Structure 1
Amino acid sequence: MEKTGLKYGLLTAAALIAYFMLMRVFGLADVIELRFLNGVIMAFGVVLAIKGYKERMHGKIGYFKGLATGIITAVVGTTLFAAFMVVYVKLGGEALIETLSAERYFGERVVATPGVVIFSVLMLEGVISGFMIAFIAMQYFKQREHKVPGGPS
């Protein structure tokens, strides 16, 4: 479970970084609305991780083990992407912090430092959306054999 989550978390982080860099090349890194696709990338990563874990277990997957696989994928992917973004901002991406501050994500009195932005926007958004995606995906991937104990076979 941990290996699968780590593997797909690394792949998800790579996809998020590649997407961000592609947006940067085309001058779209400051368009906040395009972050929606980060959620789509996270969804693919989490679903592929749960599916991969289920295949490794020969079709038998416990609900909480599948859920944990998805959550591990989301946490690893989000953490690595957030670390990349800290480095990006420190090396000259201050315009992104200014854009997020201008959008008033943090209220009037909060100073939008890179740490606040990375934690508030990326970590919370990524982990929470990853958890929700894992929960939704497990509704599909859970075992379909619902038998009542002691009931007819």
Structure 2
Amino acid sequence: MASGNVSYQSVSIKYGIIVGIVHIVYFLLMWASGLQETVELSFFSGIFLVVGIIVAISRFKRMKNGMIHYFQGLGIGATVGAVSSIILAIFMMIFVSTLGQDYLFSLQSSYLFPESLSKLSLFLITIIYGTVPGVIIGFIAMQWFKRPDHTMPERI
């Protein structure tokens, strides 16, 4: 693909979808093993977001022959975070509405969420919990990637 035809939006949407699917798989594994009640474990899925954003920025920079603008990196972080969390939020609505009605009750009894947690607020909180860290992770990652000589190592 020519470097002029690549947009940061297309790269970040692709990796946002991948990260969103990985979030869902992780949640289903937690649910299958009975660990979905341990809300704190869901925060480990942030590692998937970090890796997805770093790989997306690295991939975009490589596709642009080592040139990336600072705000493109921030945009990648925000978009990967938003896309992945929207996918997860939609899945959570389907899950809570069909298989896991008890999951919402366990969240309401958790000290991390309010007792009045509704499906809509869970939907919005899920999106916020993915988008805001996405911007922050993009900001931190761009401290490394903004310089032309800093790239991820090539595959061996």
Bucket of the pairwise TM-score, normalised by the shorter protein: 0.7 to 0.9
Match of 1:127 among 127, 131, 146: 131
Report Cα offsets for 1:7-52 as digits up to 9, x if no partner: 1001000110111111111111111110121111111111111111
Q: 3-state DSSP class of the match of 1:137?
A: helix
Match of 1:116 among 110, 113, 121: 121
Count matched residues: 142
Q: 3-state DSSP class of the match of 2:107?
A: helix
- The separation in 2 between residues aligned to 1:90 and 1:58, in whole angstroms, is 46
**What CA RMSD, in Å, does the superposition of the two structures yield over aligned residues?**
1.4
- The separation in 2 between residues aligned to 1:106 and 1:80, in whole angstroms, is 21
The 1:107–1:11 alpha-carbon spacing in structure 2 relative to 1, beyond 3 Å, is: closer
Could you tell me which amino acid in structure 2 is paired with residue 47 of structure 1?
Answer: I
Kept after mapping to 2: 8 A contact 1:71/1:130: yes
Q: Pick the structure with greater CA Rg.
A: 1
Report Cα offsets for 1:56-101 as digits up to 9, x if no partner: 1011111111111121111111111111111111113122211111
- The separation in 2 between residues aligned to 1:53 and 1:92, in whole angstroms, is 38
TM-score by length of 2: 0.85
TM-score by length of 1: 0.87
Q: Structure 1 residues 63-72 or 6-15, which shifts more?
A: 63-72
Kept after mapping to 2: 8 A contact 1:53/1:69: no
Kept after mapping to 1: 8 A contact 2:79/2:131: no
Gaps of 5+ in 1: 146-153
* Deviation of 1:105 (Å): 3.9
Gaps of 5+ in 2: 1-7, 150-156
> Residue in 2 aligned with 1:42?
49
- The separation in 1 between residues aligned to 2:37 and 2:58, in whole angstroms, is 33
1:88 aligns to 2:95 (yes or no): yes
